[in-house]
Amino acid sequence: MAILSTIRDKSLFLILIIGMALFAFVASPKDIMNFFKSDKVNFVGSVNGEQISREEFVNQVKNYKAGRNNINDSQASKEVWNNMMQEKVYETQLKKAGIVVGEKDIWEFLINDNSIKSNPQFQNEAGLFDEESLKAFIADLQADKTENGKTRWQSWLDYERSIKQSLEREAYLNLVKSGIDVSLDEGKRNYELNNTLVSGKYVFLPFQSIPDSIVNVSDSDIQAYINEHKKDFQVEASRSIRYVKFDLAASEEDKNEIKESLISLIDDREEYSSVAKANIKIEGLKNTTDYQNFLAENSDTPFNDSYVFKNNLNTQLADSLFSLPVNSIYGPYEDGEYIKLSKIIENTEVPSVKASHILVAYEGAVRANPDVKRTKEEAEARANQILKRMKKSGTDFATEAKLSSDGPSASKGGDLGWFKEGQMVPAFNDWVFSHKKGDIGMVETDFGYHIIKIFDTKSDPAIKLASITKAIVPSETTENKVFVEAESFAAELSKGTDFTELAKEKNYEVKNAQKLKKQDDRIPGLAGNNANIVYWTFEDNVSVGDSKRFDIDKAYVVAQLTEKEAEGLQTVKSAKMLVKPIIIKEKKAKMLSDKMKDGDLSSIADANEVRVLTTGEISYNNPSTSVGREKAVAGAMLAMKKGDIIKGVVGNNGVYAIELLSKKVPAEMESYEPFRAQLSKNLRKDNTTIFNALKEASAVEDYRY
């Protein structure tokens, strides 16, 4: 015991020592040195030379996650990083532009904000916005030094900060957009371009007339194309893997063992008690009546004392369970992730009601709309008037509810649908379930006064179950078998055995995950967070062809690194699928253009065994030819003179030789201002496009990895 006490006293120290030992065991010397560098410990990144501190980042991640139950650390980290990076990018530009938003600007925004002006808290007795009330509210927030007060004050400061940020960005974006404009001459040219009609003759040689197989595309061709279009082929560092997953799933033998263990709990049994020093009788599910304690001792889920309806159960089980008499035992049976053994301990009919209501709220009632100003006495009088009207024959309840109800169901004519006993607040519930179909009455609750009409009643069969449940989990034997299988596969790979061939031999399914980035924590085909696998692929000492076994939730994974792509220019291998078709098209265009070098359209058509076609009248906006829409053809014809012939025009589907037959220029306009304005509007980019351009021009470094 003395040794255990010493361990407890020194537990924090031991945890630190063990943690550092494990870190030293799995990390390379370079990792350890990098970890202790100040820029890695204290900062998570920088934008244009301005560091983003680790402390600030962690605090913002915590704040972002607060109230968001369905978001994990990794998702929150990405969102916060993007927000902080965006803020820093704009800060740089705001300084350069000399844009400053002060307290006066923020105050002007606040006092002109409709959500604040319409808030009764900031209105005087005449219902008009009172600036002094808002000032007093802010002063009270700042003066409250309680923990809740500090939280509310911080929330207000964050709100003001968001206003400042919004005003700054709006000013900057408006400044950028105001600098994008066009002249009247450009408006005129755009008008003429889109409204000039041209017609001509053409010879068309399709790309498909040359088989892809005869067009040679080398890696040097692809590399040359990438070099010529560097901007389009910049990539983040990425890794690609292939993997086999070994699921830790319960076998049929495991399920049968669980079922046997449940069957053993049906009947009473005797067990030796060391306390009584004799055999004692232990009740089984068949005879016990203390279901609470029985299930607490024998089940993975507690006793549920509520009624169960058919629609609450698996459709394959519902009919069987509802057909059994009380005290019958059903199972064992599989239901989702559990194997269950159920005893029917009660069956009954549970009443349901279909009703509508009209709510008359008053100021201060629970969830009352801020617009409601009537007193409680006024609300009661109004409710009595409505009740009196509703009791007259022929009065439509739904119409009255839409016009008079203060409740959220007003838009549905007050309809509350079907509900069972206990689902409504007590006073409402008691009235409804003590009256019959067609009855109309009024009750008071904390929400106000309710005029209620019962439209229908029914009873639904229900049962109460005592179910022993056992989670379907693999046995230790199964877990060991799966582990050995995964480890054996990994061991064979470490000897240089081909991954695909070995998986095929073992009949394992191989999956691929392409272009994993440093910050990724999800891998296609795998559940949960798998950042550890991604991190491994980026370690300096891991090379293409290396493999490793990983433990993940309910499975083992054996992964092999198949490709490493460095940050910067995309490799030929990764770009080939995209670039090769482009180069094939370019080479085919050259080959087809060579077939058009000599002669007029007729001789070109004869030489290539095709016909001379005509376009009809087309425009740049409607460039339809008999072989498809071709803006390249329309554009070329707009630049030609009547009688001109141009060859080798590359379109979407092939190459053209064109002769212009006619050109109709549109009539002069008195003013080209509408066309200038429209062109200017089209050129002004949206905010996202502007930000992406600013981000591209900024020096952003991300240390989070």
Q: CB–CB of 345/327 below 8 Å?
A: yes
Instruction: Specify the long-range contacts of residues 306-309, CB closer than 8 Å, at least 24 apart.
Output: 306/464, 307/346, 307/348, 307/350, 307/462, 307/463, 307/464, 308/462, 308/463, 308/464, 308/465, 309/350, 309/460, 309/461, 309/462
Q: How far apart are CA 474 and CA 247, in angstroms?
A: 10
Q: What angle do CA 229, 234, 237 make, to 5 degrees?
A: 155
Average of per-residue pLDDT values in the chain: 88
Average pLDDT over residues 417-438: 92
Q: How far apart are CA 540 and CA 531, in angstroms?
A: 16
Q: How far apart are CA 472 and CA 175, in angstroms?
A: 63
Pull the structure tokens for residue 370.
């801020």
Average pLDDT over residues 469-489: 95
Q: How far apart are CA 602 and CA 250, in angstroms?
A: 76
State the pLDDT at residue 299.
95
Q: How many CB atoms lie within 10 A of CB 549?
A: 19
Average pLDDT over residues 98-112: 89
Which is nearest to 333 in space by CA: 255, 399, 398?
Answer: 255
Q: How far apart are CA 659 and CA 199, in angstroms?
A: 9
Q: How far apart are CA 563 and CA 561, in angstroms?
A: 6
Residue 599 or 33, more confident: 599
Range ranked top by mean pLDDT from 100-109, 151-160, 425-434: 425-434
Longest alpha-carbon distance in the chain: 117
Q: What angle do CA 345, 347, 351 make, to 5 degrees?
A: 140
Average pLDDT over residues 615-629: 83
Q: How far apart are CA 217 and CA 584, in angstroms?
A: 7
pLDDT-derived band at 20, boundaries 50, 70, 90: low
State the pLDDT at residue 124.
79
**Residues 666-702 as b or e (16 or more Cβ within 10 Å = b):** eeeeeebeebbeebbeeeeeeeeebbeebeeebeeee
pLDDT-derived band at 7, boundaries 50, 70, 90: very low
State the pLDDT at residue 21.
52
Q: How many CB atoms lie within 10 A of CB 360?
A: 28
Instruction: Please say if the pLDDT value at position 13 is more than 50.
Output: no
Least confident interval from 120-129, 162-171, 448-457: 120-129
State the pLDDT at residue 368.
86
Per residue in 39-70, pLDDT (tens digit) is 556 888 888 988 888 888 888 888 888 767 77
Q: How far apart are CA 287 and CA 272, in angstroms?
A: 20
- Residue 417, CA atoms < 13 Å, CB-side half-sphere: 5
Q: CB–CB of 654/206 below 8 Å?
A: yes
Pull the structure tokens for residue 383.
């409710």
pLDDT-derived band at 33, boundaries 50, 70, 90: low
Instruction: Please say if the pLDDT value at position 123 is more than 90.
Output: no
pLDDT-derived band at 643, boundaries 50, 70, 90: confident
Token pair 């202790």: residue: 36
Instruction: Specify the long-range contacts of residues 482-490, CB closer than 8 Å, at least 24 apart.
Output: 482/246, 482/247, 482/248, 482/556, 483/556, 485/246, 486/246, 486/549, 486/556, 486/557, 486/558, 487/549, 489/244, 489/246, 489/549, 489/558, 490/547, 490/548, 490/549, 490/558
Between the two ends of the chain, the Cα-to-Cα distance in Å is 44
pLDDT-derived band at 695, boundaries 50, 70, 90: confident
Average pLDDT over residues 20-43: 57
Average pLDDT over residues 185-195: 89
Least confident interval from 169-178, 376-385, 646-655: 169-178
Q: Which one-letter DSSP state was computed for residue 181?
A: -
Determine what percent of the chain is predicted with pLDDT higher than 70: 94
- Residue ranges of alpha helices (H) inside 2-128 are 2-9, 11-26, 29-35, 38-42, 54-65, 73-97, 103-111, 114-117
Q: What angle do CA 139, 140, 146 make, to 5 degrees?
A: 125
- Residue 525, CA atoms < 13 Å, CB-side half-sphere: 16
pLDDT-derived band at 193, boundaries 50, 70, 90: confident
Burial-class residue 623 by CB neighbours within 10 Å (0-12, 13-18, 19+): buried
Least confident interval from 164-173, 271-280, 437-446, 553-562: 271-280
Non-local (6+) Cβ contacts of 274 within 8 A are none
Instruction: Please say if the pLDDT value at position 319 is more than 60.
Output: yes
pLDDT-derived band at 330, boundaries 50, 70, 90: very high
pLDDT-derived band at 5, boundaries 50, 70, 90: very low
Instruction: Please say if the pLDDT value at position 627 is more than 80.
Output: no
State the pLDDT at residue 28.
53
Token pair 């009196």: residue: 388
**Residues 404-429 as b or e (16 or more Cβ within 10 Å = b):** bbbbebbeebbbbeeebeeebeeebb
Instruction: Please say if the pLDDT value at position 339 is more than 90.
Output: yes
State the pLDDT at residue 241.
97
pLDDT-derived band at 29, boundaries 50, 70, 90: low
**Coil/strand/helix, residue 383:** helix
State the pLDDT at residue 296.
94
Per residue in 558-576, pLDDT (tens digit) is 999 999 998 899 989 889 9
Pull the structure tokens for residue 579.
């670039």
State the pLDDT at residue 12.
46
Q: How far apart are CA 661 and CA 625, in angstroms?
A: 15
Token pair 């559990």: residue: 338
